[in-house]
Structure 1
Amino acid sequence: MRGGVRTWLAATVLLLGAAAAPAVQRCDPGARRTSPAERFIVNEDGTVTDRVTRLTWARCPVGQPWDGRTCQPGKPYAVWFSWREAQEAAAEARLAGHADWRLPNIQELESIVERACVEPAVNTEVFPGTLPNAIFWSAGEDPENDGYAWAVDMADGATKSVLKDSVTFQVRLVRGRPLVFHRSEAGGDEAPADDGIHDPTNPDLGLLQRPEEAFAPLPKDRTGAPDWAAALRQGVIRPRAALTDGEAVEVRDDVILMKDTRQMPWVAFPHDIHSRWLACANCHDAIFVARKGANDLRMDEILRGEQCGRCHGKVAFSPFVCERCHSVPHEGSPRPWW
């Protein structure tokens, strides 16, 4: 049962938001659309079916009724959920004559993100009820911290690991066979999806490689995830500076030692391994100011997907593998460390 304090808080936030100018979705007109309207079959019952994944989605977030044309605004305490409440809402859903609705997994949520747009990063013609800064729960728990679950921030489409007890996130229901990004268990003989773009008779559509097969030659960290830095040092992978041969990577070999870590071991930031992957302009100065002492690094910001979290936890190792960064024990740090 939703508490009175929560209802008051939600209503207060809604009133404050109403006083501000409405946000306008921003899209890059030159970017390729990742969720074009043509990819979806619009049903008359407030749902859409994705031609690519074959999943059927509720067009409105839970708590925003479909009126036959669009999503009506819902009361804040009816559209905001903790992770446990999101699971309960999915189990209780009876929508468009079906009772098999569920929370989407994180890959399914990512599949409907419109990468050409922000605030929200979704096709608003297909999903008209999406607020500019809505965060949607997935069914997936963070395997490295049982207090966290995965969610997608529709402000920019970023995937985040967030506290399950957070109570201001939303739910978009899905039904259909769960999406898995590899060939079918039957050996790839499942009929390819008709997405309106690719030739469904092309046999190469069924040749997607399993992640575990692709990552098998790579060294692993203690969590079993690929250790990309070790793979680079061992020569298992060889990133290029550009698509064309002959361009060299500009590598810096200095290490920044960060000592403001209290009882945790100090953090050693190696420019070497980062500059083998990234040009300086990827980080400076939009994410980090290139000046000693100018950046206040905070774990809460990193876990929210900012600062180092722009990459770590997404395309680089998880920020919960603490020893990868906190690698320099000092007099006040615990012994042994890891």
Structure 2
Amino acid sequence: MAVGARSGSGGDEPEGRLDDRNGGRLGAEHREPAEAEKPTGTEEAEDHGTGGDDAGRHAKRKKQRSFWRELPLLIGIALILALLIKTFLLQAFSIPSDSMQNTLQRGDRVLVDKLTPWFGSTPERGEVVVFQDPGGWLDGPEVSENFIQKSLSFIGLMPSANDKDLIKRVIATGGDTVACEEGGQVTVNGRTLDESSYLFPGNIPCERDGFGPVKVPEDRLWVMGDHRQDSLDSRYHQQLPGKGTISEEDIVGRAVVIGWPPNRWSTLPVPDAYEQNLSAAGAATPAALGLLGALPIVLVRRRRLLRTDQGD
């Protein structure tokens, strides 16, 4: 019993201690292979993954900061380009009246070509042009504008309420003689001008306000609106120094396109009526007289040559 007890006690106790020790060693041995079998570089891969996320967030924040830093520069460049385009290329104008109906309606936005005059181009008959008030054509007090309105007007993003600009069609240029009898049609250098393609329906070219003949000085223009009964044009300013004509230097540019509203989009070409020869007779006279003068000389010389040949 005692032996059995000691054996049981001795056997149980050492086995218990062994189990504890083995259990501890076995646990360690089981963990070590697990750690040893972990693929190398796993921790590095996880670190790199975390580092990549941080780098991405940092790059995104940096990109956002860079955008806000560059925004003023982008706005500045856009404003400079707008100013250059307005000054040298194209400028938009709003039509405030009915004087150019039906070609242009009140509220239309037209784009005006300002580039070609820089290359020495001068206005031609039939073109629709924008020009500055030569003096005495427009009346009325100036409208007060705030700083924002003045700035936007300066760079061409909105029209100024105090712009002294008008839009008309060129009928005659320097050296031309233009006239129109009451109830009749306009003549340029004695040739009748067919204006039916653009004249406001129902209008007569000179219903009750005939004029002329007017000799247009060099470097000046005679202009008229397409809505003759609703246009204070060259006809009504003949008492001014230019006698109704405007200087080519006052020309802002040629209106080439109706840009707004979209359903009104169209170009503004020169009407076919102006493709005919409307040049002043004096310009063609020297050439014509030269040809007429040379013809008898050629005929006389030819006869002499024929006589000489027959004599031989």
Q: Name the TM-score class by shorter chain.
A: under 0.3
Structure with the higher helix share, 1 or 2: 2
Structure with the higher strand share, 1 or 2: 2
Q: How high is the TM-score relative to the length of structure 1? A: 0.20
